[in-house]
Chain A
Amino acid sequence: MNGRFIRGRRAFLGGAGVVVALPFLESLLPRKVRAQSASAPKRLLFYWIPNGIYMDKFRPTTTGTGYALTPTLAPFDTLKNDILVVTGLENAPAKPDGAGDHAAGTSAFITCAHANKSQTALQLGMSADQIAAAKIGKQTRLPSLQLGVDGGSATGDCDNGYSCAYARNISWSSATTPVAKLTDPKTAFNQIFQGFNPTDSQADAAKRAAYQMSVLDSVTAEAKSLSLKLGHTDRHKLDEYMTGVAELEREVGLGSSGATCTVGTAPASTTDFRTKLSTMHDLMVLALQCDATRIISFMLGNAISGQTYPFLTVNGAAITRGHHDISHHGNLQSNLDMLAAINLWTMQQFAALLTKMKSISDGPGTTMLDNIAIFLSSDVSDGNRHNHDDMPVIVAGHGGGMLATGQHVDYPKTAHEKVSNCLATLLSTAGVTDPIGDSTGTLAGLLK
């Protein structure tokens, strides 16, 4: 498929960081890509936010196209026709065994599978992004990309008997293998653009690829030899290893033909929440724009996020308590006010991401937002009740023109319509028709 990519189209933008570089990137995109707008790449983004949503300020009062934006949805004023607000969906597999709604809800976020409650025996299901990556991910250097803003606390229980793996990963490449996210902007940048040396000659690049391939061949041989001596549980670990090596081999095989643009220096590592989030948003756009990947999952924290929001004030006081603590609002007005403020801020950031995508041309007359399908939701609906029905969902982007944006779609709770069917609908816009978790089909109401 890479025949349309040619050498020599790469440009080097020295010095500038990612954030600064972005506005210039469009000019770096290869002309051939832009000329092929009819077959612009279909992209997917899965965006997880922690601790649910204060639904009273989220849910529009009417359905259809004429709905009025609620206080929490106000940031989408100029994007109303680019999103679908979906309410009433249920993610039944997210219900934990006993306590542990956050970990079970997070792990079921896009797997729609029921996590085995254990500290060590991981068993879940393949996630929607990985299902898509297995089908269409090989078109790009990275089949998928996992990003976040918080690697997770270094100590403590993660959630009532559930291993931290369930609380920190939404992407699972198999029922037993979570795909860890990158939370350091510099590491993420290097991951997106690694192995790309714009000063290489073609001969040098070919030799380098041959060398890399040989190193991978060597370790594959070692892994195969080792695997023969192992029992089945250990072999499974080696299988994870060999799957990874095969993927790296594929990337090397793509060589420089897989990269379509490059930028200057990597962004600095940062621990500041707002800076990191904004940089990660930039990196998402960059990775998609450069066609390094077409499938991204993103976590705005981890299950039971205790993120503080001291830069937000409610009734004159900064929010210094942790988000999860506040989300157990007990219907206390002061808590609800803080939740509404956190939700609003989160939506403002998400809206800014959409606006950025909308500003990036994907060829004549289309933008990145036209050719992406985005799923935003959380691990629970209401943070106080921990319910997994009536999930707050925003579907954003036009899915290549297939999504019936501009509306609020509400499914009656009694219908028990599934989150997984919503995800299947999004995947269908990228031509992927595989089932996800407990899905039974697509949701016609979300499609044109």
Chain B
Amino acid sequence: MPNRLWMPTLLLSLGACSGVIGAGAGPGSGSAGTSGSSSTGSAGVGIGGVPTEPPKQGTDPGRVTVHRLNRVEYNNTVADLLGTSLRPADNFPVDDRGGGFDNMADVLTLSTTQLSLYRQAASDLVTDALTNTTLRSKLVTCDLVKQAAACARTTLEAFTPRAYRRPVASTEIDQLMTLVTLATSKGDTAEAGLTLALQAVLLSPNFLFRVELDPTPTATTPHPLNGYELASRLSYFLWSTMPDDQLTAAAAAGTLSNPATLKAQVTRMLASPKARALVDNFAGQWLVTRAVQEITPDPATFPKFDDKLRAAMAAETGAFFQDFVAGTLTGDQLLTADYTYVNDRLASHYGLPAVNSTNLVKVSLAGNAQRGGILGQASLLTVTSHPSRTSPVVRGKYVLSQLLCDDIPPPPPNVDVGALDSAGATGTLRQRLEAHRSNSSCAACHGLMDPIGFGLENYDAIGAYRTMDGTDAIDASGTLPGGGTFSGRQELAQLIAASPAYASCFATKLYSYALGRLPEMTDNHLDPWTVYQLAQGYRQNGMRFPDLVSNLVSSRTFLERRGEPEGP
């Protein structure tokens, strides 16, 4: 298994980190990346590449490439569509990521192997749906034996629009019915024919891809999405699955893009259990906590680490982030909250009183200096550590890249990292790291990362609190570039929470995830201005997630698209 997330960024090169961090980058910088070629025309940038004045408001809402359902979306969609408990995508190849997310349309390519797996899945799903009595009763509501082709048609007329997430023309049903006719002409039943037709629906590009059409494919004039396309954007953003009946009804009524309707739908959708998808898919990738499932702490160093602790770590962060999604926790409180969720296993790991439950229980951390906020959660602290020890470097890099959108380049090749871990090395980990920063080629970048990571040294490589590292007393003082000095996690968290870069970075990450594409940082594009406005609004209005989502889905880039000139 890949043991941890990061390269051993032990030594970094001079030059790449020599100036103010984030210099020259726009709000789309950092690991969210940019796909545009020129930077925005903004005059100045602060930490994390946050523009100090609003970027020019461009006119281009952009376009999202036709989007193949990724593994999570496929499993969720077939579950909603058929009621199946099969999860065919679990054995599909892992989706490639771009910008840290696996829902980037441009990167969701389709190989023959993948298509072959789709075909097998379609076959398995249809068999499951027609042989399971409960599932069948929802799918086939007429008498397929007596009414034969008529019943097959009725079934397809109800099923296909849901599968294609849009109304379906009668000619499309005619096309599917040829499969029913073929079967009956060969002496098979209508049931056999319907089986083929349903397989064809589940193998259709109209099902496998989220399609958005332009009235004129080569015209770059912006136009609003139709209601069904918008319903899919909302649904796959907030739920990672197909639209439900209410969304589809609003789309059919043509009211979905009304600001009040949109806001009401967002409120409804975020309150739904399906919004858990944001925790698993957005937060799991943004905070990298999905990796909790992949970590392998060194069993000799951490004999107490087991799958129960692993599960509790993941569950804590999940439950905590769920509060943020629901709007009861704000963005700054993600870092500074005075409560968390623990079960007995995790309470023991944290040195908290037992809660007498194997399920998570909300507990107050008022007056507790050791925990509170994601930087004190074992999931995050573990995925940013090496198997047997902490890495202030990795943790510092994590804060910069994930929370502040400031990417640090890797060390140049062929550096001598021997000094840090060699048997003859002396001093605390902090002293050893500081010693290698005496090398100027290392200092530029490590001077930014390491002092952040030191602030989390009170937590070992599986997130247990400590005041000593072996025989060395922990010194958790440090510096946040452009943000001042601090001592320990609490002060570090407060500095990050107050940083404009934190709000901007979050808005950028969510924006990329919502659209399934990276912001285009070009002058005539609406992205730079939109992301700036979203970040400003988020920061100035209490960092409430539901508000940010409402504003995001009301933005022109979410509601509109354009065609593209004929290419090469």
Contacts and interface: CB of A to CB of B under 8 A. Distances in A.
Given A120-B98, A222-B205, 13 more contacts: A158-B97, A163-B97, A177-B110, A214-B182, A215-B196, A218-B204, A219-B204, A226-B205, A229-B213, A231-B563, A233-B65, A322-B387, A332-B418
A214 B178 contact: yes
B225 to A, nearest CB: 14
Contacts of B294: 153-154
Contacts of B99: 119-120
B127 interface: no
A155 interface: yes
Interface string B1-41: 11111111010000000000000000000010101000000
Interface string A261-286: 00000000101010000000000000
22 contacts: A120-B35, A151-B93, A157-B100, A164-B97, A165-B109, A173-B111, A179-B111, A180-B114, A211-B179, A214-B182, A215-B179, A215-B200, A216-B203, A238-B205, A244-B112, A269-B91, A305-B2, A318-B300, A320-B388, A330-B415, A385-B414, A386-B413
B91 A120 contact: no
A155 B284 contact: yes
Interface string B182-219: 11001000000000110110011110110101100110
Interface stretch (B238-246, B248-256, B285-293): B285-293
Given A120-B518, A215-B199, A231-B217, A386 B414 contact: yes
Contact of B120 (A158, A190, A234): A190
B300 A320 contact: yes
B116 A156 contact: no
Interface in A183-222: 183-184, 186-187, 190-191, 194, 207, 210-211, 214-216, 218-219, 221-222
B410 interface: yes
Contacts of A269: 91
Interface in B405-458: 407, 409-410, 413-418, 421-423
Nearest to A230: B217
A331 interface: yes
A237 B209 contact: yes
Contact of B298 (A153, A238, A320): A320
A320 B387 contact: yes
Contact of A168 (B96, B213, B563): B96
A166 to B, nearest CB: 9
B117 interface: yes
A98 B10 contact: no
Interface in A221-273: 221-223, 226, 229-234, 237-238, 240-241, 243-245, 247-248, 269, 271, 273
A384 interface: yes
Interface string B266-290: 0000000000000000001100111
B204 A328 contact: no
Name the prevailing secondary structure of the A interface residues: loop
A183 B93 contact: yes
A302 B421 CA distance: 26
Contacts of A210: 182, 186
Interface string A128-165: 00000000000000000010001111111111110111
* Contact size range, A: 35 or more
B233 interface: no
Interface in A304-340: 304-308, 310, 318, 320-322, 324-325, 328, 330-332, 334
Interface in B385-418: 386-388, 401, 407, 409-410, 413-418
A271 B416 CA distance: 35
A407 B10 CA distance: 40
A16 interface: no
Interface of A: 98-99, 101, 118-122, 146, 150-161, 163-165, 168-169, 173, 176-184, 186-187, 190-191, 194, 207, 210-211, 214-216, 218-219, 221-223, 226, 229-234, 237-238, 240-241, 243-245, 247-248, 269, 271, 273, 302, 304-308, 310, 318, 320-322, 324-325, 328, 330-332, 334, 384-387
A156 B5 contact: yes
Give the 9 A-B residue pairs with the shortest CB-CB distance, closest first: A180-B93, A244-B115, A151-B94, A119-B98, A330-B417, A165-B96, A386-B413, A120-B106, A156-B5
Given A320-B300, A331-B416, A164 B205 contact: no
Contacts of B518: 119-120
Nearest to B35: A120
B107 A248 contact: no
Nearest to A247: B112
A154 B104 CA distance: 14
B33 to A, nearest CB: 4
Contacts of A306: 1-4
Interface residues of B, number: 97
Contacts of A244: 110-112, 114-116
Contacts of A218: 175-176, 178-179, 197, 200, 204
A99 B9 CA distance: 12
A322 B3 contact: yes
A241 B387 CA distance: 42
A207 B186 contact: yes
Given A211-B183, A328-B10, A122 B107 contact: yes
In the complex, which of the residues A210, A330, A386 has the most CB atoms of chain B within 10 Å of its own CB atom? A330
Contact of B421 (A121, A215, A332): A332
Given A176-B109, A232-B564, A328-B417, A248 B3 contact: no
Contacts of B186: 207, 210
Contacts of A304: 2, 7
A53 to B, nearest CB: 16
A439 to B, nearest CB: 24
In the complex, which of the residues B8, B214, B288, B564 has the most CB atoms of chain A within 10 Å of its own CB atom? B8
Nearest to A180: B93
B102 interface: yes
In the complex, which of the residues B1, B63, B183, B421 has the most CB atoms of chain A within 10 Å of its own CB atom? B1
B104 A119 contact: yes
A70 B146 CA distance: 76
B331 to A, nearest CB: 21
Contacts of A318: 300
In the complex, which of the residues A182, A305, A325 has the most CB atoms of chain B within 10 Å of its own CB atom? A325
A98 to B, nearest CB: 7
A120 B104 contact: yes
B556 interface: no
Interface in B99-153: 99-100, 102, 104, 106-107, 109-117, 119-120
B413 A385 contact: yes
A182 B93 contact: yes
Contacts of B415: 330
B116 A233 contact: no
B517 interface: yes
Interface in B287-331: 288-291, 293-294, 296, 298-300
A331 B272 CA distance: 55
B66 interface: yes
A184 B92 CA distance: 9
A386 B412 CA distance: 9
B200 A240 contact: no
Contact of A307 (B2, B114, B421): B2
B172 interface: yes
Contacts of B416: 330-331
In the complex, which of the residues B33, B94, B112, B178 has the most CB atoms of chain A within 10 Å of its own CB atom? B112
B110 A237 contact: yes
B70 to A, nearest CB: 11
Given A226-B205, A322-B3, A179 B94 contact: no
A133 to B, nearest CB: 10
B68 interface: yes
Contacts of A118: 35, 98
